Structure 1
Amino acid sequence: MTIKDIMNTLESWAPTVYAEDFDNVGLLVGDETVECTKTLITLDTTEAVVDEAIKNNCQLIISFHPIIFSGLKKLTGKTYVERAVLKAIKNNIAIYAIHTALDNHKNGVSYQMGVELGLEDQKILIPKKDTLLKLTTYVPEDATKEVLNALHKAGGGAIGNYEECSFSSKGIGRFTGNENSNPSVGKKGIPKEETENQLNLIFQKHKEQDIITALKNNHPYEEVAYEISIISNKNQDIGMGSIGYLPKAMEEKDFLSYVKKNLNCTNIRHSNFNGRKIKKVALLGGSGSFAIGAAKAQNADVLITSDLKYHNFFESENKILLADIGHYESEQFTNKLIASYLTKKMTNFACILSQEKTNPVNYF
């Protein structure tokens, strides 16, 4: 097994195409062709984490946060980033960052917080735009079933909890092949009319190449006519944050105590209590001030996130309880989430959870 094999497994789960534009995800350090038998999973790649990987004979570090975020112009070891990268290179350890690709997964970072809190009926809080595409193509009537089956196998027609969704309408296709053509129906140079079905399927953006390949490999025509367009529908499967329900409503103070216990956080900064019981809970792991509006729009009773600034707390407007539990605390269960997925998918592969506490924030 190579590092590339592990990357493919990760990216079939959390495709990097859904990472935010500002982010730096994927393989940051190392050679993807190197054989890999053991990986260390961490929230942050510090120098101490690289030492831990060396001690455990790991060839790969899978990090949630990217150690290289903006461009590096020098590698002299003068900063903590440079030292960690240099040590990884010297010891042939690759570093892969998953970050917002996993943030935007419906069962990703924020969802996992909800699992720890026992939430029910979780859905994405902020669906990501421009992540759904639509295929329109034209297939001879007698080949429609075969082409449609191939497109479904490639991931076409999956909408929420439904699969193999499509729409077809019958019409007449017209074409004339030139002298270099090799038509499967009709003859070159002679106009041809053929009864065809127009097929329409929605698919996830990361499936585009698979869809095109399946279409061309199974369509009987020499030249396949098709169109792919971006649609603005909300994507139920890709986006930031999560929102769900507690099994039973709780008083605000009782709820914050419950959060402290279940999310293992010692301090919670919060907006004014408004006397509203907590039932509907919005979550956004990491810096989540941008989610306040979405949480209010969906009538959440509370938003649990981190890195709120002084003026963000005014945005509660006594309509929602804002709870800042800390950046590290909101993402600390990510390691377990990644390890659980890889262990199920790659049974002959060792995943080690880092024992280093990488939280740079301390409380007195």
Structure 2
Amino acid sequence: MDLREVVSALNDFASPSLAEGWDNVGLLVEPSPPHAVNTLFLTNDLTEEVMEEAVQKKADLILSYHPPIFAPLKRVTWGTWKERLVVRALERRIGIYSPHTAYDAAPHGVNNWLSKALGACTSTPLHPSTAPSYPGEGTHRVEFCTGTEHLDAVLSKIKDIQEVSCLTTFPARVEGEEQTRVSLNCSQKALLEVVALLSQNSLLYHKTEILLLQKPLLPHTGMGRLCTLSEPVPLSDIVQRIKQHLRLPHVRIAVGRGRTPESPVKTAALCAGSGSSILKGTKADLYLTGEMSHHDVLDAVANGISVILCEHSNTERGFLSELRDTLGIHLQNKVNIIVSETDRDPLQVV
């Protein structure tokens, strides 16, 4: 498949618009076209060791969950390891694509996979995502009532304003008088012109309502998950389930105040990676994430919430095996998809 065709399919699988505003997602390194993708190489972190593996396995495109290019590069030399990744990729004609928080938010993404560690449960996003665009044109809705003597003149002037849409009129009765209610959508820029026009007539201006349109929430999409287990499970059993799901011999646990390892867990808030900002303030029996600050753990424990930490990338990496199978179907099995064997969390328990 052509690189652009693959990237289009990846964007369709989980739109980059779902990513957080601070993130750097999408196609980060592009070899000169045309560029065919026969082998797609999946990794959680693109290190120099992982890059060497990708080269050896003749990868044409690397999907690195974490973006290897995050802070802007002022130069591309052999001086730093991230610059060397770019040099190596371009020399070997390997593209680099990163989904990161777009996969965190997606309904079929990383957090959904992590929730399977808890067993049978239902889940909702902790921070729901909004649609990338408004349901209709414009960001604001303006409504006002006017008598027939002003209607034609006002409508004529409004129609001359650019970025005004959905202009409709319908009869209305105001204080016993027959009038016409006018409704329109407009952009922020057009709103200033509409308000300036209406302010020329004090009667119109004082009867004007301005509504800020909201982008609709996307179902089952967003950062983190609040999971409700089908039945309460002892904390010690949850620990074993998580270790088995993540294939880890050890996790770190802080038992909430007033709780014990045998205390039942009915609700769990989780966030793959670093979850402090997403989980903070959420009421649950358990927090599950990769890492949290010492003080955020203390706060949770003081509020009776137990905390399980598995190290940052350990809560993400296992998703790649599921992703491999899902993308195989999404790409119609036209691309060979492999998961890195070198990629691992840099922290080890000794």
User: Fold match, TM over 0.5?
Assistant: yes
Aligned partner of 2:274 in structure 1 is: 287
| 39-48 or 111-120, which deviates more | 111-120
Aligned partner of 1:99 in structure 2 is: 100
Aligned partner of 1:330 in structure 2 is: 315
Whether the aligned pair in 2 keeps the contact of 1:24 and 1:66 (CA below 8 Å) is yes
Aligned partner of 1:23 in structure 2 is: 23
| 353-362 or 96-105, which deviates more | 353-362
**Pair 1:119–1:263, CA change in 2 (3 A):** farther
* Residue 278 of structure 1, aligned match among 265, 275, 282: 265
Alignment pair present for 1:311 and 2:295 = yes
In structure 2, what is the Cα distance between the partners aligned to 1:306 and 1:344? 29
Q: CA deviation at 1:57?
A: 1.8
In structure 1, what is the Cα distance between the partners aligned to 2:32 and 2:115? 34
Number of aligned pairs?
Answer: 290
In structure 2, what is the Cα distance between the partners aligned to 1:199 and 1:330? 49
Q: CA deviation at 1:240?
A: 0.3
Whether the aligned pair in 2 keeps the contact of 1:3 and 1:35 (CA below 8 Å) is yes
| 128-137 or 107-116, which deviates more | 128-137
Q: CA deviation at 1:249?
A: 1.9
Note the alpha carbon deviations across 1:43-102, whole angstroms, 9 max, x for none.
Answer: 111122222222222210011001111011232223221222211111000100110111
Aligned partner of 2:233 in structure 1 is: 250
| 106-115 or 335-344, which deviates more | 335-344
Alignment pair present for 1:264 and 2:247 = yes
Q: CA deviation at 1:294?
A: 4.7
Q: CA deviation at 1:229?
A: 6.6
**Pair 1:337–1:92, CA change in 2 (3 A):** same
What RMSD in Å do the two structures reach over aligned CA positions?
Answer: 3.5
Question: What are the residue-to-residue correspondences of 1:132-211 with 2, within 5 Å?
Answer: 133-135=134-136
Q: CA deviation at 1:18?
A: 2.0
Aligned partner of 1:8 in structure 2 is: 8
Whether the aligned pair in 1 keeps the contact of 2:135 and 2:216 (CA below 8 Å) is no
Whether the aligned pair in 2 keeps the contact of 1:3 and 1:32 (CA below 8 Å) is no
Indicate the structure (1 or 2) with the bigger Cα radius of gyration: 2
Whether the aligned pair in 2 keeps the contact of 1:29 and 1:94 (CA below 8 Å) is yes
**Pair 1:352–1:301, CA change in 2 (3 A):** same
Q: CA deviation at 1:36?
A: 1.3
Question: What are the residue-to-residue correspondences of 1:63-78 with 2, within 5 Å?
Answer: 63-78=64-79
Structure 2: state its 5+ residue gaps: 139-150, 157-168, 172-181, 185-210
**Pair 1:80–1:230, CA change in 2 (3 A):** farther
Moved over 6 A (4+): 173-176
In structure 2, what is the Cα distance between the partners aligned to 1:32 and 1:103? 30
**Pair 1:251–1:53, CA change in 2 (3 A):** same
The one-letter amino acid of 2:291's match is: D
Aligned partner of 2:201 in structure 1 is: none
In structure 1, what is the Cα distance between the partners aligned to 2:347 and 2:129? 30
In structure 2, what is the Cα distance between the partners aligned to 1:136 and 1:27? 29
Q: SS where residue 266 of structure 2 aligns? A: strand
**Pair 1:236–1:267, CA change in 2 (3 A):** same
Aligned partner of 2:142 in structure 1 is: none
Aligned partner of 1:361 in structure 2 is: 347
Q: SS where residue 86 of structure 1 aligns? A: helix
Note the alpha carbon deviations across 1:291-344, whole angstroms, 9 max, x for none.
Answer: 233531xxx211100221111112112332111111111111231233222111
In structure 2, what is the Cα distance between the partners aligned to 1:272 and 1:28? 41
Whether the aligned pair in 2 keeps the contact of 1:43 and 1:334 (CA below 8 Å) is no
The one-letter amino acid of 2:15's match is: P
In structure 2, what is the Cα distance between the partners aligned to 1:353 and 1:64? 12
**Pair 1:21–1:129, CA change in 2 (3 A):** same
Q: CA deviation at 1:199?
A: 12
Note the alpha carbon deviations across 1:215-265, whole angstroms, 9 max, x for none.
Answer: xxxxxxxxxxxxx97416644333101222334322222321222222222
